[in-house]
Structure 1
Amino acid sequence: MQGGTDVDSPTPEGPRTTGYRLEVTESVAEGVRRMAHEEVSGALARLREPRYDANEALHDARTRLRKVRALLRLVQDAVGPDVFTPEDEDYGSAVALLDDARESYVAVRTVADLREDFSEVLRPSAFVDMQARLEERHLHILHHTLREGIVPQVIERVEAAERRIDTWSLDTADDRQLERGLRRAYERGYSAMTRAYNGGTGRSAEAFEEWREEARYLWFLYRVLTPAWPPIFEAMAEEQLRLASSLGVGMDLGHLVGLADDPSLADTPWPRLALRGLAHERRLHLWAGLRPLGRRLYAETPDAFRDRMHRILEAARGPTGAAH
């Protein structure tokens, strides 16, 4: 799943919104504020009425809130640390409150994927009981999230955050801010990738998780900037999503490795040890396979990347910002 849609459907009240992209005719301040309102509004709608698929609704809400964090990171120099730090933490804590429901759902899917991937060497009954126990565990966590105060707590936090969007100080937000924000996101991913492949096993796991986080934020930012050069930014976003999604699978496998230590998942330790081993080996194989893609997506130094983004944005939006 890739989160929410970019463009809202038309409504009787008016035309559909522009979506998660900064139009070349918009100022940075106008675009960032509009996108933040749209994503927060969409997240609240999903949280207030999850409809038929609560898992998908919670995932979409979390993705939308992360997209707001990406916007804040893009203009963090303009809003300043006194606004950026508490706002970033507030959106992050709202997402974290929904983590247990998402992680328990993904654990069930990850076991199912492993059973399918290794179907030629596993018995049909392999891990069936563990998967059933994980499903039961997930339903309990999901019920707790939806019915016992967590979602209402998230809604309350996000509603308060929504009211503060119009108070963000964006007077100095311009295309130079975009370039600095892009460079920051790129440099963090570049550094995390370097640590991931140069560190020991424990350090690598942490670095891969950090790389996934930064790769996802850079994917969001490429989507924001797509109107500046659609064919290029769409292609960059597609490949960045491929990287972020694959790194996410690695995180899911790592979470399953940790869960396999829980004695409540099996009556004997052997199924848990087998599952742990499969998940660990699959994660190592995945990490090794991502290296060529990572080297292509982070082929430039951060300064060279910033300079290239500067030239693209200046050509699309003019030397002073939004093109007219």
Structure 2
Amino acid sequence: MSRYRLDWDRPLDDDIRAVAAARLEHAADGLGDASADRGAAIHGARKDIKKTRALLRLARPGLKDKAYRRENDALRDTGRSLSAARDAQVLLETLDGLRERAAGQVPEAAFDGVRAVVAERGAAAAQDAAPDVAGAVERLGAAAARAERWPLRIGDGDVASAIATAYARGRAAMRQAERSGEAEDFHQWRKRVKDLWYHQRLLKDTFPELLPAQAKATKELSELLGDDHDLAVLRELLCSDPALALPALLDVIDERRAALQADAFRLGHRLYAERPKAFRRRFTRYLGTARSAPLAPAS
């Protein structure tokens, strides 16, 4: 698989274009492989699209607004066109993950009945919005070709500003989620956390002794918030039908969400401990020293 990091021995503009094009080509190739598992290929393509959109946000200071919006909107729409089948599968996996926690509180027969209805609805929704895989392959190929020609003019300071913006937005989103407790605010926080995680991966060579560890912690936070979001979506579905809204099962979901959110805030307060201006200064130094000549060994 092609790399997902920036090489500081190459011109920045060229390397951003190369990484973006490679991710999109990888997505198109995976979807176009007739021998591959369709579900896995769609999941892989969606991940590649998310990675490319994060890279695009990192490169945004070096792009004109029109070019940025064109590419971001195209990738967003292609990702959405592939989402229905995966979203239905995630709901089932989330429900199955609750089975052991619900033991003794929700009768097995009742749990199985809920699962059967969720599976049936998910299958129907996925069929109604069956992805146009051939169309997605074509659009991804076109996006990859455009990525090779992105009209970029970007420097290290622009990159430092972009990751600092992602950091500041995540920090603000965390505070909003703390204030409101609303599922949508936690979901928005997760999006910003994923941006930061992808940016840390892209820039890891600027401080290889530190950034991979930070990226690992940021990924953990993203997973906590992702699990919370999946439970929130499942809860909304169950509450939409009185026959599915078993009080004991809803209690299990609420208890699990409370635990996930508590863990997310504990980790989030450590990851977002710096003020955004200090964070930006730190990354400016990382990027500057990454391009500096290595120090001569002490005699």
Q: Is TM > 0.5 for Structure 1 vs Structure 2?
A: yes
Shift of 1:121: 4.0
Contact 1:256–1:276 (8 Å) recurs in 2:
no
Determine the C-alpha separation between the residues in 2 that align with 1:272 and 1:281.
14
Determine the C-alpha separation between the residues in 2 that align with 1:273 and 1:101.
28
Q: Does 1:230 align with 2:204?
A: no
Determine the C-alpha separation between the residues in 1 that align with 2:36 and 2:60.
37
SS of corresponding position for 1:125: helix
Determine the C-alpha separation between the residues in 1 that align with 2:272 and 2:56.
23
Structure 2: segments with no counterpart, 5+ residues: 294-299
Q: Deviations over 1:213-238 (max 9, x none)?
A: 01011111111111122221110110
Cα distance, 1:50–1:64 mapped onto 2, change above 3 Å: farther
Contact 2:8–2:206 (8 Å) recurs in 1:
yes
SS of corresponding position for 1:117: helix
Normalising by structure 1, we get a TM-score of: 0.84
The residue that corresponds to 1:13 in the other structure is: none
Shift of 1:51: 4.0
Shift of 1:283: 1.5
Q: Which of 32, 37, 43 does residue 59 from structure 1 map onto?
A: 43
Contact 1:111–1:127 (8 Å) recurs in 2:
no
Q: Does 1:307 align with 2:281?
A: yes
Larger mean CA deviation between 172-181 and 104-113 belongs to 172-181
Q: Deviations over 1:12-36 (max 9, x none)?
A: xxxxx4x001122122112111111
Aligned residue identity for 2:218 = Q
SS of corresponding position for 1:219: helix
Aligned residue identity for 2:108 = P
| Aligned pairs for 1:7-86 within 5 A | 8=1, 17=2, 19-49=3-33, 51-86=35-70
Aligned-residue CA RMSD (Å): 2.1
Shift of 1:206: 2.1
Shift of 1:54: 2.6
Contact 2:61–2:159 (8 Å) recurs in 1:
no
Cα distance, 1:105–1:81 mapped onto 2, change above 3 Å: same
The residue that corresponds to 2:150 in the other structure is: 168
Determine the C-alpha separation between the residues in 1 that align with 2:251 and 2:30.
37
Q: Which of 159, 166, 171 does residue 141 from structure 2 map onto?
A: 159
Q: Does 1:117 align with 2:91?
A: no
Corresponding pairs, count: 293
The residue that corresponds to 1:191 in the other structure is: 172
Shift of 1:60: 1.1
Cα distance, 1:50–1:135 mapped onto 2, change above 3 Å: farther
Q: Which of 248, 264, 267 does residue 290 from structure 1 map onto?
A: 264
Shift of 1:133: 2.9
Q: Which of 58, 68, 83 does residue 99 from structure 1 map onto?
A: 83
Cα distance, 1:52–1:164 mapped onto 2, change above 3 Å: closer
Shift of 1:271: 5.0
Structure 1: segments with no counterpart, 5+ residues: 1-7, 9-16, 320-324
